[in-house]
Amino acid sequence: MVGIYFSGTGNTKYCVNKFLEYYYNDINKVESYSIEDKRCIDKIKENSTVIFGYPIHYSDIPIIVRNFIKDNSMLFKNKSVFIISTMGLFSGDGTGCSARLLKRYGANILGGLHLKMPDCIGDVKVLKKSIDKNIEIIKETDDKIKITVETFKRQKYSQDGLKFINHLSGLFGQRLWFYKKTYKLRNKLKINYDKCISCGKCANICPMKNIRMIENKPISQNNCTCCYRCISNCPKKAITLIGNEVIEQCTIEKYTER
């Protein structure tokens, strides 16, 4: 069994690894790969069961994840896939969005798990919580993962987000209102050059190679997947996307390494 994930600010990586850690009871057996890591292709081929994780973006799959599934559709034929979606508050059918796609490509969907984690939209005030509150949220999520793994071991798979009613709530609760929202945000990344010190960190860590250093200046190529990684890691808080000011830089280490 292998974990395959996309994670902008670390929440999903944390959850997929926790799932595998509880499953094996041995951290050394945990094997997980980001879809940014080329080795993930071979790892999917080698394993019959995949724990597939991603964050929810406006009750939908991030662009980078949808592209990954489509570009590698053949890999999922006959694979058993258990889907984990992480979210700041709510997603009707976060797991269902990829389940429908993966099923089309021949995957056997075992189940789904929705996990509440700290909200990572660092340039919008709504949903921001204290560090202590976020630590509490992660603790509750840990407990949910643990219980889910216990039942998973008995081949009873949780079905969060996979039922028809979830499809309706994802669609009418959010997707219709935010129709193709992340696609519309693709070219909206803002870099404040008065603050920027041209360190190049954003360009190095962007999973889409959307930021390029051109003549020592970071420039967005209008191909952003809205993952908030650069916004959360810029040493000068010079990058914003939805909002206009960085309120909090959200990375999982803030809550787990205290």
Ligand X SMILES: Cc1cc2nc3c(=O)[nH]c(=O)nc-3n(C[C@H](O)[C@H](O)[C@H](O)COP(=O)(O)O)c2cc1C
- Name 143's bridge partners: none
What's the residue count for the chain? 258
CB 251 within 8 A of CB 9: yes
**Among residues 121 and 162, whose Cβ is nearest to ligand SF4?**
121
Contacts of 206 (CB under 8 A, 6+ apart): 229, 230
**Among residues 88 and 111, whose Cβ is nearest to ligand X?**
88
Contacts of 116 (CB under 8 A, 6+ apart): 86, 87, 88, 89, 137, 140, 141
**Binding residues among 7-46 for ligand SF4 as defined by CB under 6 A:** 8
Q: How far apart are CA 172 and CA 184, in angstroms?
A: 19
69 binds ligand SF4 (CB under 6 A): no
Shortest distance in whole angstroms from residue 19 CB to ligand SF4 = 24
**Binding residues among 166-205 for ligand SF4 as defined by CB under 6 A:** 189, 191, 196-202
Among 236, 243, 247, 249, binds ligand SF4 (CB under 6 A): 236
**Among residues 159 and 233, whose Cβ is nearest to ligand X?**
233
**Binding residues among 108-137 for ligand X as defined by CB under 6 A:** 117, 119-121
257 binds ligand X (CB under 6 A): no
56 binds, among ligand SF4, ligand X, none (CB under 5 to 8 A by kind): ligand X
Amino acid in position 170:
G
Among 35, 69, 120, 227, binds ligand SF4 (CB under 6 A): 227
Shortest distance in whole angstroms from residue 212 CB to ligand X = 21
- Name 222's bridge partners: none
Element (H, E) at 116: strand 108-116
55 binds, among ligand X, ligand SF4, none (CB under 5 to 8 A by kind): ligand X
Spell out a b/e string for 34-62, using b for 16 or more CB atoms within 10 Å of the CB, else e: bbeeeebbebbeebeebbbbbbbbbbbbb
**Which stretch, 10-18, 26-34, 187-195, 204-212, contacts ligand X (CB under 6 A)?**
10-18
| Tokens of residue 99, six digits | 């389940």
Spell out a b/e string for 82-117, using b for 16 or more CB atoms within 10 Å of the CB, else e: bbbbbbbeebbbbbbbbbebbeebebebbbbbbbbb
Among 210, 240, 248, 255, binds ligand SF4 (CB under 6 A): 210
List of residues contacting ligand SF4 (CB under 6 A) = 8, 189, 191, 196-202, 206-208, 210-211, 218, 224-231, 234-236, 238-239
List of residues contacting ligand X (CB under 6 A) = 7-12, 55-59, 86-91, 117, 119-121, 174, 182, 226-228
